Chains A and B, each alone.
Chain A
Amino acid sequence: MAPLRSTRPRLLSAAALVLGATLALSACSSSSSGGGESSGAAKVSKTSSSSQYRGTVLSKHFDKPDLVLNDTSGQPYDLKARTAGRTVLLFFGYTSCPDVCPTTMGDIGVAMAKLTPEQRQKIDIVFVSTDPERDTPQVLRTWLDSMGKDFVGLTGDLAKVKAAAKPLGIMVEDPVVAANGSVTSTHGAQVLAFLPGDDKAHLLYMAGTTTDTYRHDLELLAQGVAV
């Protein structure tokens, strides 16, 4: 037994060397790739080890915003009233966003499609447009239909959208057009999950959250598992 134990430190140091080598290599190859994904992935790690959920458990429970906009049929939609006592996933974005918005909503759509109809019925997916000028109810409906026919799309006064997003820590700003015509859009890419018990946000999902994570957590949410 004793000789075996004595090899352990060597094994460990060999492992450490391998790890060091891997780090050196990856530092070399990823030096200029932006790193948006990796920083997002790092933030996905949950903060509470006691939770069954894979999303980030929020220590501050945000109120559901008091927001009345038009839905995709052009009718007024009171977010608080219409979703009271229901589980809600809320995301702010815009349809002429080729990368983060369709990726996030598409991955949620795939996860929702894997739930049973009974589970799906308990969850509202709400997308709020940060580009109401271009995102008319019809544009929004067509776009959302690619990801979920029953997803709720809201559009209207951008000032109201900004006011609703700010207390949630979600940044929404007017697009900035540079002299060369390039556009910088600012909109927080995080998804918040509001629980039916208190209508407050308890979970956060950063951009880059996988379909598996969404499916895992949506099933727990549909079952009413405590965060």
Chain B
Amino acid sequence: MSRGFRRSALIGAGLATVLAAGTAVVACQSSGGSAAPKLSVADPYIPLPATPGGMGAGYLTVRNDGGADQLVKVTSPGAGSVTMHRSTEQTMEEVGALEVPAHGSLNLARNGNHLMIMDWSKQPALGDELELDLEFAKAGTVVVKVPVKPLTYRPGS
């Protein structure tokens, strides 16, 4: 009796999963056009530059509960230059914009997409916060305070 129940429960769970996946895919395809993006920024950090006051990197995750958007520019009142770059196994290149997919996220993380920060107005130290102004094509400017963390820091560590 109980085995029979467990079995049908399992099948039910499987069906529910398929339905959920179907819904997610549909949402993904249909909301890219006109829906407004709903953005939030998580886990921003700047590893302390290896050369004091030297070139730094910025990492963060942009979560999007709405339609697709693009990160088109990043500036900071505390640094003369912030540019968007992408690392691959062989190269590092500057990029003009980074896609924020609908109902997805844009990850700026080590060994991938990242911000390059130069010309600090004050040499960054552990515990400092740098303001970054993230300019999105649709959502406008999102201001984040980004903490300076140890050189080898990872979110959650």
Contact = CB atoms under 8 A, between A and B. Distances in A.
A28 interface: yes
Majority SS of interface residues in chain A?
Answer: helix
A142 B103 CA distance: 43
A88 to B, nearest CB: 21
Contacts, number: 171
Interface residues of B, number: 54
A36 B11 contact: no
A202 B110 CA distance: 26
Contacts of B109: 37
A7 B111 contact: no
Contacts of B25: 24, 28
Majority SS of interface residues in chain B?
Answer: mixed
B20 A21 contact: yes
Contact of B105 (A4, A17, A29): A29
Interface string B78-103: 00000101111111111000111101
Contact of B50 (A10, A25, A39, A147): A147
B89 A182 contact: no
Contacts of B17: 14, 17-18, 21
Given A99-B114, A102-B151, A143-B51, A184 B94 contact: yes
B103 to A, nearest CB: 7
Contacts of A109: 152
A69 interface: no
B137 interface: no
A32 B89 contact: no
Given A99-B87, A139-B51, A37 B21 contact: no
A13 interface: yes
Interface in A162-185: 171, 178, 182-185
Contacts of B103: 28-29
A146 B49 CA distance: 9
B151 A143 contact: no
Contacts of B107: 33
Contact of A37 (B7, B91, B110, B116): B110
Contacts of A81: none
Contacts of B122: none
Contact of A99 (B90, B92, B99, B105): B92
Nearest to A175: B92
Interface stretch (B33-41, B52-60, B128-136, B140-148): B52-60
Interface string B3-18: 1001100110110011
B9 to A, nearest CB: 10
B126 interface: no
B24 interface: yes
A162 to B, nearest CB: 14
A154 B136 CA distance: 42
Contacts of A40: 89, 111
A107 B40 CA distance: 29
A10 B10 contact: yes
Contact of B101 (A24, A31, A182): A31
Given A29-B101, A31-B99, A185-B93, 10 more contacts: A10-B10, A29-B104, A37-B110, A39-B88, A40-B111, A102-B47, A102-B50, A106-B47, A187-B90, A211-B152
Interface of A: 3-4, 7, 10-11, 13-14, 17-18, 20-21, 24-25, 28-37, 39-40, 43, 95-100, 102-103, 105-107, 109-110, 139, 142-144, 146-147, 171, 178, 182-190, 206-208, 211
6 contacts: A7-B10, A25-B21, A33-B106, A100-B87, A110-B152, A186-B90
